[in-house]
Amino acid sequence: MTAKNLRARVRDELTSEIKAIARRQLATDGADLSLRAIARELGMVSSAVYRYFPSRDDLLTALIIDCYDELGEAAEQAVARAQGSLMDRWLAIGHAVRDWALAHPADYALIYGSPVPGYHAPTDTVGPASRVTVQMLGLLVQGVATGAIPADPGSPEVPPRLAAELDRFAEQVPGVSRRLLARGLTAWVQLFGAVNFELFGRLQNLIDDSRRELYDLQLRVMGEYLGFQ
């Protein structure tokens, strides 16, 4: 191994270790990360950590991208395994999101909880953030293309200003009408809203023993709303 390759390997390993410590910090202290605390845990001076991540925001961005990518990969793998009807694949996406969120609550809170004060996500996060959405939209595109669902469900009525925005969005989603996109957005918000309600304690003392069943029911209702069978 050349000296250059060795340095690159060491840098990759330290970068991964810094991010692992930061994710543990998320679980105990939330998104108010301390690069100095990370440096102490590594046994390094803080200036050394800043060579890897010049600021807290740079580290947050790296964590956000990792979390979105992990969640997106979980959804993609679930769809690939489902190999069934549109409804089966919709349920697979939804349960993959919930399962990942429950297994990584602090990471999920970072990407779908309250915004971090003073942090503004760069465009680098857009692609990873879209991976789950791309899977969901793919079901709509396939459903329309195969005739399994109507391209235009006939409702809801879309107000003009919203229609203009949906039409711009529809240009990127072949064959899907603004009404079907409106339904898709509704289902998308419902899916993540249901996960948020459970993860952030909104179901406490209301639904305690059958939360998976409630979530599955909500997914099925939204799947039927989208026309999936």
Question: Residue type at 6?
Answer: L
Q: What is the pLDDT of residue 4?
A: 60
Q: Quick one: CA dihedral 68, 82, 215, 169, positive or negative? A: positive
Q: What is the pLDDT of residue 97?
A: 98
Q: What is the pLDDT of residue 178?
A: 94
Give the Å distances, CA to CA, from 97 to 69, 71, 107, 156, 190. 12, 7, 12, 27, 12
Mean pLDDT for each 10-residue chunk of the chain (229 residues)?
Answer: 69 93 92 90 89 94 98 97 95 98 97 93 96 96 96 94 94 92 97 97 96 98 97
Residue (of 48, 47, 51, 61) closest to 19 by Cα position = 61
Give the Å distances, CA to CA, from 146 to 85, 143, 153, 169, 209. 12, 5, 15, 21, 39
Alpha helices by DSSP H, listed for the chain, are 3-29, 35-42, 46-50, 56-82, 86-103, 105-112, 126-129, 131-146, 160-170, 178-199, 211-226
Query: May I ask the CATH class of domain 1-54?
Result: mainly alpha
Give the Å distances, CA to CA, from 166 to 102, 139, 141, 189, 206. 32, 18, 15, 15, 36
Domain definitions of the chain by residue range: 1-54, 64-226
Sequence-distant (6+) residues with CB within 8 A of 203 are 197, 211, 214
Q: Quick one: CA dihedral 36, 41, 47, 50, positive or negative? A: negative
CA distance 112 to 97: 12
64-226 falls under which CATH superfamily?
A: Tetracycline Repressor, domain 2 (1.10.357.10)
